[in-house]
Amino acid sequence: MDVLFAKFANYDATMQDIAIVLPAMSMKEVFIVRIVTVSRKVLRYVIVAVIMATVMSVGLWATDHDMTTSAHAATLPAQDRYSLRDVETNQKVAALTFDISWGTVMPPKVLAILKTDHVPATIFVSGPWAKQHPDIVKAYAQAGIEVESHGWAHVNYSGLSNQGIVDNLMKTDQVIQQITGQKPSFVRPPNGDFNSRSILAARSVGYTTVTWGTDSLDWMNPGVATIIRRVTTRIHPGDIILMHASDTCKQTDIALPTILQSLREKGYKLVTLKQLLTYGKPIYRG
């Protein structure tokens, strides 16, 4: 607005056409304000009036659009708005899950611990990592570990187009099927990022979006004691526990044996994600 005032500060508006390009709803419309024999003061009032009217109309449209979109999202069922986080059950059962997207050192270490303790679990693998290390993925699958998708590119799904989300999933889908012979059913979006649009896009190609109920924070390498404490004090019936088996997580394999022992002492049974859903109603939360 200050720029417009500067342009017209010394303008004599007599039978002149003043073209003012305004950011109207189409972003391309040009409004012509014809000023006939007006003083500089009146001219300024006219300019301000036109600008304010247009800004208000655009602002009201944007607000109305946002409110309409939010209102529509609010009418969707929970499974179309939120991720799967828990299962409603009174039984002491939980799913231990691991994201893997990097490295060849930690994945075998975690697998060895799970096999030694005969613990069912679920891994979410990124497409590029799985493609590069099919032998590790196959070893997990052969040990009875459920293999699910962590997508292809490690980017926030809320920032991708619907087609971008689908492409991300299907590239990884193809890799996992080639290795395990099984089609994944769940996706854990990178960074746990999602919105109702990404959830619906994933569902359109057969995926349920899964995050977690308990985050071990092992990805932060906060210390073995912290990882153990977070899991063992936050676990609850029907819980989905987030851990990682990538090389960037340096303390997971050290904390895991103690976690498994503690959960056994608490009377918990660990199962795969698909098995967990047989114990009760899935809970979708933001």
Short-list 149, 157, 219, 212, CA closest to 184: 149
Residue with tokens 């946002």: 66
Query: DSSP string of 240-285?
Result: EEEEE-STT-SSHHHHHHHHHHHHHHTT-EEE-HHHHTTSSEEEEE
| Rg, C-alpha atoms of the chain | 28
| β-strand pairing of 30-35 with 269-271 | unpaired
- Which helix (H) or strand (E) segment holds residue 98: the answer is strand 93-100
Q: Would residue 64 show up in a list of annotated catalytic residues for this protein? A: no
Distance CA 212, CA 192 (A): 9
The answer for residues whose C-beta is within 8 angstroms of residue 156's C-beta and 6 or more apart is 189, 190, 191, 193
- Which helix (H) or strand (E) segment holds residue 284: the answer is strand 281-285
Per the residue annotation, which of 133, 218, 239, 244 is the catalytic one? Answer: 244
Q: Would residue 167 show up in a list of annotated catalytic residues for this protein? A: no
Which residues form the catalytic set? 99, 244
